[in-house]
């Protein structure tokens, strides 16, 4: 006897959205639940991707949803907003096509009367998908300009702080312990390769910031930042700035 096909909810939030504390997973789940209740449906399972970009299919929960759709486990999937599937129009359309091919109905909470068989509804969906893609591009452009301006003013661009530094409130300062490791790596570079340096650090019990062992790749990454460590030059793309407080060597 064939198992009952379930109704699923799919939620996604990007790293940027997490930082802005905007349209979080809890809000999406609530809106999907409200939609399901109004439609007389029960959500059997949620598929959740946190800190995942909407322009890639390489999302763990999304891959699982598609995999289980192929086994005819899922009969419908509900999203709170169309752009939770993707902020890339081509990818959104591909996902919708694939789910339809697998017999999975896609329901959109903020488009309660959407019908994928209605040409006008499909047109509206595609327009909204194009707007979501354009909004994403505008966000990226604003972020890029903001980071470039920080670099020109002699500040780090943002994101993960390079090895050798740490955050202190809104400032980025040198991390004494990590700065010492940076100096050792550059000193040993005169006689050893990256793998030998990594083996030496591991042998002394030194670990990376996340507690894992040093690797050739990580040592090479440190050495690639010589302009920052020695010459106070910070970069983002083709934009450069200087800050003497960042000199370690």
* Contact assessment for residue 249 and residue 181, using Cβ atoms and an 8 Å cutoff: no
Delimit the domains of the chain by residue range: 6-140, 154-246
Q: Helices 176-188 and 194-203 meet at what angle, rounded to 10? A: 130
Select from 162, 168, 144, 183 the least CA-distant residue to 225. Answer: 162
* Contact assessment for residue 87 and residue 94, using Cβ atoms and an 8 Å cutoff: no
In this prediction, the residues of the chain whose per-residue pLDDT falls under 50 are 1-2, 19
**pLDDT, tens digit (0-9, with 9 covering 90-100), for 42-75:** 999 999 998 777 677 789 999 999 999 999 889 9
Superfamily of domain 6-140 in CATH is: Resolvase, N-terminal catalytic domain (3.40.50.1390)
Instruction: Decide: residue 195, CB within 10 A, 0-12 exposed, 13-18 middle, 19+ buried.
Output: middle
Print burial letters for 98-122: b (CB count within 10 Å at least 16), e (below 16). Answer: ebeeeebebbbbebeebeeeeeeee
| Residue numbers annotated as active site | 14
The fraction of the chain above a pLDDT of 70, given in percent, is: 95
Give the whole-angstrom CA distance, residue 114 versus residue 127. 13
Q: What is the pLDDT of residue 1?
A: 40
Topology adopted by domain 154-246: Hect, E3 ligase catalytic domain fold (3.90.1750)
Q: What is the pLDDT of residue 29?
A: 94
């Amino acid at each position: 006897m064939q198992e009952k096909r379930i109704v699923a909810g799919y939620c996604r939030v990007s790293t940027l959205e997490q930082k802005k504390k905007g349209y979080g997973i809890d809000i999406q789940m609530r809106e999907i639940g409200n939609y399901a209740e109004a439609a007389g449906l029960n959500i059997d399972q949620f598929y959740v991707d946190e800190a995942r970009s909407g322009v890639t299919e390489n999302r763990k929960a999304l891959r699982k949803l598609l995999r289980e759709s192929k086994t005819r486990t899922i009969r419908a999937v509900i999203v709170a907003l169309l752009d939770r599937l993707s902020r890339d129009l081509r990818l959104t359309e591909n996902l919708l096509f694939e789910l339809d091919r697998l017999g999975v109905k896609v329901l959109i909470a903020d488009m309660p009367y959407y019908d994928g068989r209605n040409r006008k509804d499909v047109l509206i969906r595609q327009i909204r998908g194009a707007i979501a893609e354009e909004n994403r591009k505008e966000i990226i452009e604003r972020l890029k300009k903001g980071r470039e301006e920080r670099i020109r003013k002699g500040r780090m661009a943002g994101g993960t702080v390079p090895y050798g530094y740490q955050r202190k409130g809104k400032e980025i300062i040198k991390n004494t312990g990590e700065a010492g490791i940076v100096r050792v790596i550059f000193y040993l570079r005169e006689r050893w390769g990256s793998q030998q340096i990594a083996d030496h650090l591991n042998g002394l019990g030194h670990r990376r910031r996340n507690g894992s062992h040093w690797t050739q790749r990580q040592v090479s990454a440190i050495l690639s930042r010589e302009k920052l460590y020695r010459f106070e030059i910070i970069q983002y793309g083709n934009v450069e700035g200087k800050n003497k407080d960042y000199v370690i060597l």
